[in-house]
Copies of this chain bind each other. A is one copy, B any other.
Amino acid sequence: MISFARGIPAPECLPVDDLADCARVALERDGKTILSYGASSGYGPLREWLGARHDVDPARIFITNGSLQGFVFLAQRLAVGKRVLVERPTYDRPLKILRELGADVVGLHCDDEGLDPDALEAALEKGEKPAFVYLIPTFQNPSGRTLSEERRLRIVEIAREHEVLVLEDDPYGLVRFEGEALPSLFELSGGETAYSSSFSKTIAPGLRVGWFVLPEPLARELELAANGTYIGPVLLGQAAAHEFVSRGLFEPNLERVRELLGMRRDAMLTALDRELPEIRITRPEGGYFLWAELGGVDATELLARAEAAGVTFVKGTDFDGEPDTLRLAYSFVSVDEIAEGVSRLAAALAVPV
């Protein structure tokens, strides 16, 4: 089975030997701290590094065992039984977390430029003030779409005007293969919006190092929740990541990852253009995913046929997308598998239902 479902990096992206040495050296240097109960907000030196990188006081940095864990703390604190605005489609895990907390999740219209600011404004002008707005503006999961700069500015203005918290989730932003990087909502807002990211796509997901940049009172509240849940996070992954960035390995590794994933994106676009020119797809300049619209073909039915043909993907409805949409991940599979997988997908799509 060729998997276009798994949104994880290809094994060759993982800097195994460097991290093995970084973990050893971090423990030898600071083992008594790393191996004891640590601060609930994360490893001090990494908070300092992240604070400098985001140009904020490290007290605003909250590091968790993967960024999803931080989202859970934030949602538990703010969203229980409340309205939350999200892009439609959006990442399925936050949707599930919010719904289990009894949040009223409202999906907002998106197009090729990402979230439609008019849809956001309309949603804010009627109904209960939302707990927060959850957005993935760059190389979005699942759509691969990137919010245009003009819209970013407008969304920051709208959020300010309505005094609503925006959480910008940005795990993919640095995994850009081409084109100019856009300023984040966080930057455009002068640090007013909340921001989250992780090292999962830039170093290694198994480290489980995610972080939030938050207004300081909220950071303290979530730190208390973390303390009550796991006392302190696992510092070893954070310390290994800190050693990795301190050695100057972050940027060279990112270049390597961009090349490895860019090749895969190219292979997938080439194969789709060749084999399936009739379906509408996004053409992301970075990240892990692209989005396909099947023009009325039901993606759930296609999935069964595709899996019978030896290729899999995630159907769009898992992300609150339309029934005729699907997400294709090119991050995990090899270039050869991508070509073969798209051929199988085309064959499955050619079979009359």
Contact = CB atoms under 8 A, between A and B. Distances in A.
Interface in A17-35: 17, 19-21, 23-25, 27-28, 31-35
B36 A31 contact: no
Interface residues of A, number: 48
Given A32-B16, A36-B8, A234 B208 contact: yes
A246 interface: no
A274 interface: no
Contacts of A8: 36-37
Interface in A64-89: 64-66, 68-69, 72
Nearest to A43: B206
A97 B236 contact: no
A232 B34 CA distance: 20
Given A19-B31, A20-B31, A37 B231 contact: no
Point out which of A38, A68, A236 has the most chain B C-beta atoms below 10 A from its C-beta.
A236
A17 B23 contact: no
Contacts of A11: 32, 36
A288 to B, nearest CB: 13
B230 A207 contact: no
Contacts of A205: 35-37, 231
A9 interface: yes
Task: Specify which of A34, A69, A235 lies most central, judged by the most chain B CB atoms within 10 Å of its CB.
Answer: A34
7 contacts: A23-B236, A36-B204, A69-B230, A96-B228, A208-B233, A233-B234, A234-B234
